[in-house]
Structure 1
Amino acid sequence: MLLRLIKYCWLTICLLSSGIAGAQVVLPKILGNNMVLQRNAPVPVWGTALPGEKVTVKFNSQTKTTIVDASGKWIVKLDAMPASAKPATLTISGKNTIQLQNILVGEVWLCSGQSNMQYEMRKNSKVKKPDTSTTNSPVDELDRAHNPQIRIFLVTQKNMLKPDSTHSGWSVAEDSALRAFSAAGYFFAKNLQHDLKVPVGIISSAVSGSRIEPWVSQEGFDAIPYFKANNIKIDGDPGKFYAKMIEPVAPFALKGFLWYQGESACFLGETISYTYKMEALINNWRKLWGDKTLPFYYVQIAPYYYTHGKGPVTYTQFTEPELREAQAAALQIPHTGMIITTDLNDDLKNIHPPFKWEVGRRLELQALANTYKQRVVFSGPVYKNMKINGDKIILEFDHVGAGLVSHDGKPLTDFTIAGADGNFVAANAAIKGNTVEVSAESVAKPAAARFAWSEAAQPNFYNKDGLPAVPFRTDNPLKFTLTAN
């Protein structure tokens, strides 16, 4: 009994000295004014206080109470709620009372990755306007963004582990807060709010130049047998950003994840190992939130001259296609989706291409179709299989939408063909219904075909719904086996 009393007193001292002054209720940074709560799902509300203290949470007609545990932590879950654009107050009471104002209920997504996801709206404002732009160009979005039903939260390496007595992390998507926010994430949220007609909250947690490893805990990698079986050491600070920028967000209720990363992996010359790292990431995050079905939609990296740079490997024009192939292989992981960006770079010397509004729109199409079950075309043509017919290869595709098309009306580009010798040459390619026939005069007995198999490829092969085809090679040696979980 005396030992228990000593431990209790010591815990109380620790809580007081760590900032829980006067044993007050303290909330994590992610809970604050202006936030959006996830609709149609239980909503955790949590924090710290003095062990044994009673905490009461009130929101609209709901009242939940709990007792703080011996470690000073508490959590309640609000019952699932329908969407609501009517601002409401969330009240948390213990020894002190906290009132969080202007709370909405709708859809919440977390976006993460490296610089192309971090790419801020202020940079978007400096993009050269496309020739087809109008007075409503997305380049000018900052000038008119003031939709109170879109809320944003920017995670940084420093802001998540310190309590914020002002509860000011969330903002309406406008002005200075939006200037510093992810452009791809914002345009995803804008499109989603427009199409679903409910409030949308978007959380951005991205770090320029980051590899995939810091976003996954070491336990996440340890759960994938591939690395141990192939004696692959996980370096690159595993878990660094996971601990600082992902874990503190959980268990905030959200609908799914958006991911834009891979350039760093391409510089390292990764192929199949990156697929398994994506599996580790996806499983790791889903486990943290306790939901194996959380959607994970990601961006296949855009064309860029990797061969113009220097790095730890020798780059060829195929280095990037092979990394893209590894990204595409991750589609075997359930509840995932990938968008293509072969047409979204107007300068192949720029690893940070513009057109983030289109990245956001294409990610939203994935969500509309696969999460919200709306009847929309969400993907460009995806290679299905091939047949050899004399001196031609007949390529069949999924996701043809309203039909296959040359986007600019010119002959199809970036198809190559080879015989048994593996010597690939430029191919003539023609759309025949929902197939593409490829051939070359110098290849009498074709054995394999490739599409967009170059870092510089910006092909014109789309479906009529305006979405570009996924790069591929029919002679794909990459084998990915899902880890049982």
Structure 2
Amino acid sequence: MKNTRYTNVILICLLSLLNTISMAQEIDMSPLFGEGMVLQRDKQIPVFGKASPNTKIIVTFRDQTESTISGADGKWMLKLKPEVYGGPDKMIIQAENEELVIQQVYVGEVWICSGQSNMEMPMLSNWAHVNNAEQEVLAAICPNIHLFKVERMASFQPIKDIKSNGWAVCSSESVADFSAVAYFFGRDLEHSLQMPIGLIQTAWGGTVAEAWTSSNGLKKINDFNEQLQAIETIGQSKIDLEKKYFEDLKSFFLESAKLDVGIQGVDTIFTSTELNDSDWVKMDLPGMVESTPIGPVDGAVWFRKTIQLSKEDIRDSMFLHIAAPDDEDETWFNAYKVGESKVWDEPRKYSLPDKIIKEGKNVITIRLTDLRGAGGFMGEASHFALTGENGFRMDLAQNWKCKLGYDLQSVKTIPVKPNEPNQPSVLYNGMIHPLIPYAFRGVIWYQGESNVGRADQYKELFPALITDWRKQWGGDDFEFLFVQLASYLKRNLHPVEDSWSELREAQRETQKLANTGMAVAIDLGDANDIHPGNKQDVGKRLALWARNKVYKENIPFCGPTLKSVSRKNSKLIIEFENCYKELKTSDNGKVRGFAVAGKDGVFHWAEAKINENKVILNSKMVAEPIAVRYAWSSNPDCNLINSANLPASPFEAKI
């Protein structure tokens, strides 16, 4: 009898526990709805979640109470009327057997902050460095700013669940791993508006714009039809996805090796010390392959350099130093493989066995593999060197030769990792779709580096992304503010064709869409780092657009913008808007950065003079100019600004 009584007690406790668990799970809310959340002011407020099927849900916030019934799948959504800014308040969500109380709820301005690495770049990191980062983080005690970070998630199908730790009040601790651009943007807004600011970071470094666009948004762009069809046929089993990936990876290696002109069977013939490379393209490093006659290409590019070593040089143990490859490298010394790495943007240091180093002629060979965007080497010339333990050093940056191994477009089988982000729609599915229909004011966006080389496509793709997001949120033409690519790579001494400039032009033309704005960053870049440290001014310039266009402050918000191009005799007259008090140069010197071309399409530097809100161009090399380019280079020498000290955007125009 005693044992039976204890058994009954245990059963009662278990049933009670199970009932408690069931009740606790009756209301399932997105991490967006949690303590510290910021709701968008002056707009309807969607509140949504999951519950038991056909359950009545009651939501109370301030003096509002609204109700709805969950569907057969348990999903529910209702809308509260617009509210004025303020807080903290509490939101109460009730179901039949449960009441969920969310404390510390604020109403203010909410912005989504998205893009690739320059948006994802945190205040403190070991891979990129914000100017004065430590001091900025220590000073980031901003209780009116609330941070929400969406964790990385790629998905072949739209999902509803967000991976996130929820909202955090901005502090030195919480901001350290948060987007620097987003924080500086939010900081400027808060200083101006003096109200709660909610920042939702959803970004992933090294990603392409098509990954952030829904499949419906991409279907009108023929370039992605084949990939979209392939994704639609992919199974959802993780085991099946991984199995297919490794099968495709094997096929990819076989196909690419067969296509690579530097490989014959099992022999890497381009590593031979006796190879005649006199017809290869000359190139100094670091730099991007797209700046050579090879042009923008994904695939493999071979690099070779011949050096001479004396008997005294090779007395010490030696090391080969290579600047950071974009993306992967395999490296040989005198046809002996000394190292390889798939780590992007990390300098290499390879130890050289004594037996392979020779007196006299030695040959260094690098097979660079780049699978997206620009390809080459980042960093500084000093990162290329041969060193010895006892102080020997030979600089290696100059006089390399390069040759295309294979073009990725020729490879039929492209392996896709189950969580590979650079596929059409997978980041929209995993990191944007779960945010819908949360209310917000607008988007700030910093992306484009991974689409360099495909500017013509980007002219259609980027506006399609913006239009798609607006449609997905119910047709609201919310503000979409973006950053034009900053300067990067080696400066050209002469006018050139340039894929970075073409991408910037595609970004500039996107402003034809309503409620878009572009923060120019051409003066904020770093020749040696694709992640420049001045994120303060990037955030500030985005905030200037928002403060003027969204919040109606009468302040300068952008640099001089092209209005018209005309010709008078042999001179081109470029008229600008948004000059404010005047056009001027950032260094008080002569205007630099303009080039003109005639009917032959060949551009030559132009002499430029400011005349009120116009720049008058003239070149002795072009008698009848019909086209103009400004700051048309990956890293241009340009200096035109307005009285607000904001720079003019790079552009290309014709009469």
Q: TM-score range, shorter-chain basis?
A: 0.7 to 0.9
Cα deviation code 1:419-460 (max 9, x no counterpart):
332222111111001100111223333222211011110411
Match of 2:76 among 74, 80, 86: 74
Letter in 2 for 1:218: S
Q: Please give the alpha-carbon distance, in whole angstroms, between the structure 2 residues aligned to 1:321 and 1:463.
A: 21
Give the Å deviation of 1:218.
Answer: 0.9
* SS of the residue 2:434 aligns to: coil
Amino acid corresponding to residue 84 of structure 2 in structure 1: P
Within the candidate set 36, 53, 56, 1:54 is matched to 56
Name the counterpart of 1:92.
93
Q: What is aligned with 1:271?
A: 455
In structure 1, the residue matched to 2:199 is 202
- How far did 1:23 drift? 5.3
Match of 1:422 in 2: 601
Cα drift, residue 390 of structure 1: 2.0
1:440 to 2:619 alignment: yes
Q: Deviations over 1:372-423 (max 9, x none)?
A: 2221211111112122122211110121122111111011111112233222
CA distance in 1, matches of 2:226, 2:162: 35
Note if contact 2:117-2:205 (Cα within 8 Å) is conserved in structure 1.
yes
Distance (whole Å) between structure 2 residues aligned to residue 218 and residue 307 of structure 1: 38
Residue of 484, 501, 509 corresponding to 1:329 = 509
Do the aligned partners of residues 96 and 411 (structure 1) sit closer, same or farther apart at CA in structure 2, a change above 3 Å counting? same
Give the distance between the partners of 1:198 and 1:245, measured in 2 at CA.
27
Structure 1: distance between partners of 2:165 and 2:225: 42
Asked whether 1:147 is paired with 2:142, we answer yes
Counterpart of 2:66, as a letter, is: K
After superposition, the C-alpha distances for 1:163-212 in whole angstroms (9 at most, x for unaligned) are 89xx9500011133211110001111111111111111010000010111
2:180 is matched with which residue? 183
**In the alignment, does 2:523 pair up with 1:343?**
yes
CA contact (8 A) 2:46 2:80 kept: yes
Kindly report which structure 2 residues correspond to 1:310-325, keeping only aligned pairs within 5 A, or say none. 318-325=498-505
CA contact (8 A) 1:126 1:139 kept: no
Q: Does structure 1 retain, via aligned residues, the 8 Å contact 2:488–2:527? A: yes
Helix, strand or coil for the counterpart of 2:435? coil
Q: What SS is found at the alignment partner of 1:91?
A: strand
Is the CA contact (8 Å cut-off) linking 1:27 and 1:163 kept in structure 2?
Answer: no
> What amino acid is the match of 2:645?
G
Deviation at 1:332, TM superposition (A): 1.1
Cα 1:304–1:112 change in 2 (3 A) is: same
Contact 1:151 1:172 in 2 (8 A): yes
1:244 to 430, 442, 464: 430
1:99 is paired with a residue whose SS is strand
Q: CA deviation at 1:319?
A: 1.0
Q: Which amino acid aligns with 1:177?
A: S
Q: Which residue of 1 aligns with 2:634?
A: 455
Counterparts of residues 3-82 of structure 1 (less than 5 Å): 24-82=26-84
* Deviations, residues 112-146 of structure 1 (Å, cap 9, x unaligned): 000000010114998575xxxxxxx6762210111
List per-residue Cα deviations over 1:71-95 (Å, max 9, x = no partner): 21111211111111x3111111112
**Counterpart pick for 1:356 among 530, 535, 559:** 535
* Residue matched to 2:582: 403
Identify unmatched segments of 5+ residues in structure 1: 1-15, 130-136, 309-315, 477-485
CA 1:458–1:251 in 2, change beyond 3 Å: closer, same or farther? farther
**Worse-matched range after superposition: 391-400 or 204-213:** 391-400
Paired amino acid for 1:412: V
Separation (CA, whole Å) in 2 of partners of 1:458 and 1:183:
27
Moved more, 413-422 or 452-461: 413-422
SS of the residue corresponding to residue 379 of structure 1 reads coil
Q: TM-score, normalised by structure 2?
A: 0.63
Q: Is the 8 Å Cα contact of residues 152 and 203 (structure 2) preserved in structure 1?
A: no
C-alpha contact 1:110 1:203 (8 A) present in aligned 2: yes
Secondary structure of the structure 2 residue equivalent to 1:156? coil
Q: Name the residue aligned to 2:365.
A: none
Is contact 1:33-1:168 (8 Å) kept? no
Matched to 2:93, the amino acid is I
Instruction: Tell me the secondary structure at the aligned position of residue 247 of structure 1.
Output: helix
Identity of aligned residues (%): 36
Partner of 1:105: 107
Moved more, 418-427 or 174-183: 418-427
Describe the SS at the equivalent of 2:90.
strand
2:143 counterpart SS class: coil
Distance (whole Å) between structure 1 residues aligned to residue 491 and residue 635 of structure 2? 10
Tell me the distance in 2 between the aligned counterparts of 1:231 and 1:265: 14
Q: Quote the residue 1:289 is aligned against.
A: 473
Residue in structure 1 matched with residue 240 of structure 2 by the alignment: none
Deviates further, 56-65 or 189-198:
56-65
The correspondence for 2:552, drawn from 360, 373, 386, is: 373
Structure-2 separation of matches of 1:171 and 1:464: 39
Is contact 1:300-1:340 (8 Å) kept?
A: yes
Following the alignment from structure 2 to structure 1, what is the Cα–Cα distance between the partners of residues 182 and 110? Answer: 11
Corresponding residue SS for 1:242: helix
C-alpha contact (below 8 Å) 2:484/2:518 kept by paired residues = yes
Rounded to whole Å, the distance in 1 between the matches of 2:100 and 2:542 is 36
Q: 1:440 to 1:413 in 2, by over 3 A?
A: same
**Unmatched 5+ stretches in structure 2:** 1-17, 229-421
Distance 1:445 1:344, change over 3 A: same
Aligned to 1:482: none
Larger Rg: 2
- The structural deviation recorded for 1:157 is 2.4
- In structure 1, the residue matched to 2:249 is none
Partner of 1:300: 484
Q: Map Cα deviations across residues 208-235 of structure 1 (whole Å, 9 max, x no partner).
A: 101111111111112x3xx23x787557
TM-score, normalised to structure 1's length? 0.84
